[in-house]
Amino acid sequence: MEPYLAAAVQMSSGPDRSVNLARASGLVREAAERGARLILLPEVFAWRGPRQEERSHAERIPGATTAVLAALARELGVHLCAGSLLEAVPGEPRPFNTSCLFAPDGELIACYRKVHLFDVEIPGRVSVRESATRAPGGDVVAVPTELGTLGLSVCYDLRFPELYRRLVRAGAEVLLVPSAFTFPTGAAHWEVLCRARAIENQCWLVAADQTGTSPHGFPDWGDSLIVDPWGRVVARAGDGEAVITAEIDRDYLARVRRELPCLTHARLAV
């Protein structure tokens, strides 16, 4: 299995969809020019604004934004994971936070609706109640591709190892984690959670984060990462908008699983 290059795109998205899409397209093109065949955008990359406006800015999938992304994936010939979008669904008053995966021919091959919603109160620092404005998904989504099986997740999911164990049992080799981690929780837990999910599931992990100050008034963590199946950070973004890349070697993944076969030793069902 030939190694290939994966990229994580770090952005600072705001409430202007056209500006966000233009910036995302430019950064995806940069990643493709550097040779990336798998490119990940961050959570809510296309629109990020006041919570009370989320419903009015949610959109259907497929829709106008996914059409732009499908065309971009087709033009560049890449697998493009479009972080997440706020998805409007008839009959559901709250939008889903949905990650979309496009094949190199532009086909929308998978959608994953974020299962775990971020309801957190850190006095004086962060107050978020995603469940007030967003609906939770309920499906585990692992997608076989020519680049290996990709396991889809979004941000707060990172704290729930049972989701990733289900993904790896479904064949996942590369875990994708588009995110908008806050600064306080990111400083404390972002890297250790990313490394833990890669180590315990013996997977590559690509995590693209938001950076800067969110429209909700608190800072985002940034520090997008690519982690190998042994838990080593092989690429890191730091602060600011950026593209990071790393080589994904599936033979190395197979060797890690063969030499330390802990996935075959699990005794408890998830």
Residue 60 domain flag: yes
pLDDT band at 121 (very low <50, low <70, confident <90, very high): confident
The total number of structural domains in the chain stands at 1
Residue 14 DSSP code: -
Spatial contact of 216 and 125, defined as CB atoms under 8 Å apart: no
Q: Which domain holds residue 135?
A: 4-261
Q: Is the pLDDT of residue 124 over 70?
A: no
The mean pLDDT value of the chain amounts to 96
- Whether 101 shows a pLDDT value over 70: the answer reads yes
pLDDT of amino acid 125: 62
Answer for the pair 45, 83: CB distance below 8 angstroms, yes or no: yes
The reply to whether 231 falls in a domain is yes
Given a cut of 80, whether residue 122 has pLDDT beyond it is no
Digit-coded pLDDT (tens) for 35-58: 999 999 999 999 999 989 999 999
162: left (phi over 0), alpha (psi -120 to 50) or beta: alpha
Does residue 123 register a pLDDT over 90? no
Look at residue 215 and tell me whether its pLDDT is greater than 90.
no
Residue 270 lies in a domain: no
Any domain includes 200? yes
Catalytically active residues, by annotation = 43, 114, 155
Q: What was the pLDDT predicted at 210?
A: 98
Helix ranges, the chain (H): 17-33, 54-57, 64-76, 161-169, 183-185, 191-201, 250-259
Rounded Cα distance between 256 and 51, Å, is: 43
CATH number of the domain that 63 lies in?
3.60.110.10
Start-end of H helices in 84-189:
161-169, 183-185
Given a cut of 80, is residue 94 above it in pLDDT?
yes
Asked if residue 121 belongs to a domain, the reply is yes
Percent residues over pLDDT 90 in the chain: 90
Question: 269 pLDDT band (50/70/90 cuts)?
Answer: confident
- Please write the tens of the pLDDT for every residue from 128-186: 789 989 999 999 999 999 999 999 999 999 999 999 999 999 999 999 999 999 998 99
The verdict on residue 39 lying in a domain is yes
- Compute the average pLDDT of residues 10-20: 97
266, part of any domain: no
Reported confidence tier of residue 120, pLDDT bands at 50, 70, 90: confident
120, amino acid identity: V
**CA-closest candidate to residue 231, choices 260, 194, 185:** 194
